[in-house]
Structure 1
Amino acid sequence: MTARSEMRIAVLRGRERFEIDDVPVPRPRPDEVLVRVVASGVCASELDRWAEGPAAGEALYLGHEVSGVVTEVGEAATGVAVGDRVGVWVTERGFAEYVAVRAAYCFPAGDGPLDEALAEPLACAVNAVELAAPRLGDDVVVLGAGFMGNLVQTLAGLRGPRQVIVADTRADALERAGRLGAARVVDVTRESLADVVRGRTGGRGADVTFECTGTQPGLTTCGDVTRMSGTIAIVGFHQGAPRQVALDHWNWMAFSIVNAHFRDLGTIMRGMDAGLRLVSSGVLSMAGLVTHRFPLERIDDAFATLHDKPAGFVKAVIVFPEE
C-alpha cells in the first residue's frame, strides 16, 4: 500500500495551458488496483483539446496511454499483484502520479522500458492490422511514417506480405521506415506514390492501404494506389474540416473500407493484451519510437512538440521518477 496521501496531476484549464494540482491519491475499489504511473503518452487525439482548451470555468483531465507499477490491490481484484509492471486502460486522468484502474484493465508489460509499453496505442495498431487483414504475399502501402504508421508497418510486416511500401513527406520519418524494413519508401513531395506502387505491383495496385496521416491528402491518395476490390484502412485520426473522397471512383473500384477506430471495450482489451504480449516477448520492438520525454511540469512543452513535430520526432511521453 502506498504511503503517500497526495499526488500531482495535470489539469487543462486554458488554451495550451495545463496546471499541476495536488490532489488525494485515489483509493482503489474492491475490483481495482492502484498503479504508480511511470509513463503517460501524449496522443494526437488530444491535441485539439489542448489547443482549444476547456469551456470557460471548466477543466479537462487528459491522458489515456498509461504504464506503471501496481502498488496496491483491491480485496476483490484478481490476476494482478503488487509490484507487477503493467500497461493499463484508462480514459482520462492519465497525466498523474497514480491511477486507480480495474484489475481486468491491466496487462503484463514484461521487463522492458515502461515508457515503451504503451498499451492503448499498441491496441489501436494491432486492431487496425487485424481488421484490415493483409494476407501472405500481399502488397501493402502505409501512408504516414509517424508513431502509428511505424507500428502499423511493423505489425503488417509480421503477417508475411510480399512488400510494404511507406510514404511520407519527412526525410527522417522515411529513413526510420526503411530501418523498420520497408521494401520501398516514397517522399511524396518528390515522387508520385501512385507511379511507384503501379511499378512495383505490375500495374495492379496495393492489396491493402493503411491511411495513417489523418489528412485529406492521405485519404485522397488511398484511392489512387489501391487495387480494385482492395482494402483501405482508415487509421489516422481525422480532425478539423470535413473530409472528401471521390466516391464515384471508390464505388467503381469496389474498395472495402475499414474504419480502424474502435469503441468496443472487448476489442480494445484484446488489442492491448496482444500488443503487450508481442512487446514483452520481443516479437515487436518499440525501441527508438519514444523520442521525447518530459516531466509533468513540462507537459505543455510535450504537447507543443507533438504539434510542431521537429526533426526526429516520433512520440512524446510524460515520465515520472521511479520511487
Structure 2
Amino acid sequence: MPAIRAAVARATGQPLELLDLHLDEPQPDEVLVRMVATGLCHTDLTVRDTVVPPALPAILGHEGAGVVEKVGAAATGISVGDRVALSFASCGDCKACRGGHPAHCASFIDLNMSGTRRDGTSTLRHEDGTPIGGSFFSQSSFATHALAHASNVVKIRPQDDLELVGPLGCGVQTGAGTVINVLRPAPGSSLVVFGVGGVGMSAALAALAVGCTTVVAVDVNAERLQLAKELGVTAVLDPTTDDVLAELTALNGGVDYAVDTTGRATIVKTALEALAPGGVLALHGLYTPDGEGLDVAAIPAGKSVVSVIEGDSVPQTTIPALLALHEAGHFPFDRLITFYDFDNINEAIADMESGRTIKPVIRFPA
C-alpha cells in the first residue's frame, strides 16, 4: 500500500490540510499514476463548501496529469511509463455512453462523486487504517499519486507538456468542448461569452480557433477583459459600465451563439435576449435565482437553450485535439494558467476565489 501525501478537505470552507496517507494498490481495472500537475477547478470548492457528495473528509482534485507507475491486469492499452491526462469517469455501457456522450452517463454522479470505487470500497486510508473519501472523478488528484479507472485515463504524446495538460481534464475541455462539440459555429459566426474565467475563456479561444469572426467577452474583471483582448477577442464589455444588451443586439440584430458560465438568472436572461433569430444559448454552472431570470416558456420562437456538461466531450478525443490546436498556435490556453507548488495549494485556492488567477495549476515535487 503506497504512502502518499495529499491535500485533505476536512471541513466546509476550511483550508485543505496536507497529510500523509496510504493509497491502495491498483485493482485489475485501475492504474496508479504519479501526479505531475493538476488543475484547480471551482467544482472542487463547490464540493468542499456545500452538502453535495462526497462526504468530508475527502481528497478532491479532478484535472490530473502524470505518469503511469502501475497497471492492473485488466487495464488494456495502458503501460507503465505512459504520460496521461485524467478526466471524468463514465460507465461505458449506458445509452449515453454508447451514443458517444459519456458526460451524460447514467452513473455519472455515482462514478465521480461517491467518494469510493465502483464497488463501494475506499482507495485511501489514514495511517491508522481509517478510510477517507477518495476516487473523486475516479482520481482524487490533489495528491502525489492517484488511482484512476482505466476508462478515464487519456494517453498523451511524449512531446506534450504534462504541466499544461492537467486543466484539460475538466475546465478547459468544458469551455472549448461547448463550442466545438455542441454549438459547432460556422466560420464567420458571432459568439459572446458571459464570464471569462477558465471555462469561459476556453470557450472564447475555441470560438476563435474554429473561425468565429466576432467573439465578445463579458465580465466585470478588468484584467480578464484585457487578457481576452490580448488573446484575440473582437470586443469586451463590462456590465457595470456598458449596456451589454444594446451593444450585442447592435451586432446584426444579435449574436449567433452565447455561452453563460455565471449561472446567474439575470445574466442568462440577457444572454437569451441578445441572441439573433435562430441563435443558441449554452448554459454552464449551477443556476442561481438572483432576481428576474429566464422564463423558459417565454423563449422566443427560433431561439434555443442547451445545458452543457463537460463540453459533451469524449476525453480520449477532445483532449488530444485541444493539444494539437495548442501546438499549432490556435488555442493558447497556457496564457490562462498560473502555477503553484503543491505546498501552496491553499494560496492557489485563495487566488482563484478572489479572481486574481484564472486557472491555477498545482505542480507536484518530482
TM over 0.5: yes
User: Superposition pairs for residues 84-233 of structure 1, below 5 Å?
Assistant: 84-89=82-87, 91=112, 92=136, 93-110=140-157, 111-117=159-165, 118=167, 119-129=169-179, 130-199=181-250, 201-202=251-252, 204-233=253-282
- Structure 1 regions of 5+ residues with no counterpart? none
* Aligned-partner Cα distance in 2 for 1:218–1:294: 35
CA-to-aligned-CA distance 1:235-265 (integer Å, 9 cap, x gap): 3x1265577534278423442111111598x
1:166 alignment partner, SS class: strand
Q: Which residue matches 1:293?
A: 340
Name the structure 2 match of 1:307: 353
1:316 aligns with 2:360: yes
Indicate if the aligned counterparts of 1:127 and 1:260 stay in contact, CA closer than 8 A: no
Q: 1:83 to 1:22 in 2, by over 3 A?
A: same
Separation in 2, partners of 1:282, 1:37: 26
Once the two structures are TM-superposed, the CA of residue 44 in structure 1 deviates from its matched residue by 0.8
Identity %: 27
Name whichever of 282-291 and 154-163 sits farther off.
282-291
**If the length of structure 2 is used for normalisation, what is the TM-score?**
0.76
Secondary structure at 2:286 match in 1: coil
User: Normalising by the residue count of structure 1, what TM-score does the alignment of the two structures yield?
Assistant: 0.85
1:153-211 alpha-carbon deviations (Å, 9 max, x no partner): 11112222231111111111111111111111122222112222233x23x10010111
Runs (5+) with no aligned partner, structure 2: 89-111, 113-135
Cα gap change, 1:281 to 1:67, in 2 (>3 Å): farther
1:260 maps to 308
Query: Corresponding residue for 1:14?
Result: 11
Cα 1:80–1:153, aligned 2, differ >3 Å: closer, same or farther? same
Q: CA contact under 8 A between 2:38 and 2:361: conserved in structure 1?
A: yes
Residue among 280, 293, 299 paired with 1:245? 293
Q: Equivalent residue for 1:5? A: 2
C-alpha distance in structure 2 between counterparts of 1:95 and 1:140, whole Å = 35
- CA deviation vs aligned residue, 1:19-40 (integer Å, no higher than 9, x gap): 2232223312223221101112
CA distance in 1, matches of 2:225, 2:302: 30
How far apart are 1:82 and its partner, in Å? 2.3
Aligned length: 311
State the alpha-carbon separation in 2 of the partners of residues 298 and 162 from structure 1.
40
Gap change, CA 1:263 and 1:125, over 3 Å in 2 = closer
The residue type equivalent to 1:291 in the other structure is T
RMSD over aligned Cα, in angstroms?
2.8
Q: Any idea what SS the aligned residue of 1:86 has?
A: strand
